[in-house]
């Protein structure tokens, strides 16, 4: 049974400057990244009860300044964001073909690749969190040594009662090989309490024949809650040793599917932090994902997220 020692949630990873479509040959600048998208939405869903922070590294440039200021304005803790004098934030551009998207990245020298270089700072940033969230992208951008430091800190945090959430979010272009991705993700699952994989990723990396196979395989690591996302298809979950299926309501309008999985993660995790049962938390994830796909870019309109804030269970 998952229980949280505190309501503090921290997410670890990379945020980038986002150029999202805003009209014919026009782009709007924002900030996004898988684990940032998740913690931003968690903070908006939790409202006044939120104690959320994002563990990352940015530069000393004007884009980084605007990102940190925007985080603070939206209620996130920025004291755990470190600065790099030699690097800047990465950048990506979204190109749409109908509602499907293609990403173009400039991230090789991103400051976030050094987010785990300072072990004491990493410890201070995450070890008092009740929930710690990260992804396969987080792991893929780190050096081998930095990855080891992060794992050591996560193990310490779990010994102190923290719950670790992990979305494998497989992006093969970030790994040197399929074998490297498998080895690293395999190790991470051994220290995961809540897993939020996407079936298409798992099928491509592991050859899973069905969402059931994905859920059962990940549960075999000792993961307590496994929620398998599958786009517009039903969500599937392994909870308490049983497999469950949750239909996904049809979307009314789809503009851009960027960030849909990240926002589902946010809805589910915020629900669990707020004491909601699994089924209601999954529903909240689906509702939030529906808002995101009706928006250009990875973040839903803040006022619409606030409108989804759940009332306490009775």
**Sign of the dihedral through C-alpha 108, 264, 48, 28:** positive
Q: Are 237 and 277 in contact (CB under 8 A)?
A: no
Q: For the packed helices 260-273 and 34-46, what is the interaxial angle rounded to 10 degrees?
A: 40
208 vs 282: CA distance, rounded Å? 22
- Give the position of tokens 């081998």: 144
- Cα separation, 240 vs 248, whole angstroms: 21
Q: Among all chains, which residue has been given the structure tokens 């690293």?
A: 184
Whether residue 20 contacts residue 244, with contact meaning beta carbons closer than 8 Å, is answered with no
Is the distance from CB of 89 to CB of 105 less than 8 angstroms?
Answer: no
- 61 is a catalytic site residue: no
Query: Cα–Cα distances in Å, from 102 out to 93, 136, 181?
Result: 8, 19, 22
- Catalytic choice (51, 256, 262, 290): 262
Rounded-to-integer distance, Cα 230 and Cα 164, Å = 22
Q: Note the Cα 192 to chain centre separation in Å.
A: 14
* Closest listed residue to residue 80, CA positions, set 106, 47, 116: 116
Of 58, 94, 151, whose CA–CA distance to 296 is shortest?
Answer: 94
> How many angstroms separate the CA atoms of 165 and 112, rounded?
20
Query: Catalytic amino acids?
Result: 262
């Amino acid at each position: 049974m998952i229980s949280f020692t505190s309501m503090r949630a921290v997410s670890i990873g990379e945020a980038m400057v986002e150029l999202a479509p805003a009209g014919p040959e026009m782009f709007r600048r924002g900030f996004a990244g898988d684990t940032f998208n998740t913690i931003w939405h968690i903070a908006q869903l939790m409202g006044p009860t939120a104690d959320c922070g994002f563990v990352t590294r940015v530069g000393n440039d004007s884009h980084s300044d605007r990102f940190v200021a925007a985080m603070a304005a939206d209620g996130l803790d920025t004291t755990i964001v470190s600065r790099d004098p030699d690097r800047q934030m990465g950048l990506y551009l979204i190109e749409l073909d109908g509602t499907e998207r293609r990403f173009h990245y400039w991230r090789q020298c991103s400051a976030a690749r050094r987010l785990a270089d300072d072990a004491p700072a990493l410890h201070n940033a995450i070890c008092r969190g009740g929930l710690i969230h990260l992804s396969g992208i987080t792991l893929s951008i780190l050096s081998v040594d930095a990855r080891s430091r992060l794992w050591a800190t996560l193990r310490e945090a779990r010994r102190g009662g923290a719950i670790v959430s992990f979305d494998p979010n497989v992006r093969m272009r970030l790994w040197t090989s399929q074998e490297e991705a498998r080895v690293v993700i395999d190790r991470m699952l051994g220290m995961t309490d809540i897993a939020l994989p996407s079936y298409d990723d798992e099928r491509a990396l592991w050859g899973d024949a069905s969402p059931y196979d994905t859920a059962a395989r990940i549960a075999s690591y000792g993961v307590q809650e496994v929620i398998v996302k599958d786009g517009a298809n039903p969500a599937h979950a392994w909870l308490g040793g049983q497999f469950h299926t949750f239909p996904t309501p049809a979307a009314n309008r789809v503009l851009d599917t960027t960030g849909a999985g990240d926002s589902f993660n946010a809805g589910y995790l915020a629900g669990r932090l707020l004491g909601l049962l699994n089924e209601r938390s999954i529903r909240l994830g689906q509702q939030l994902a529906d808002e995101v796909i009706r928006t250009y870019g990875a973040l839903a309109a803040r006022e619409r997220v606030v409108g989804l804030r759940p009332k306490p269970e009775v």
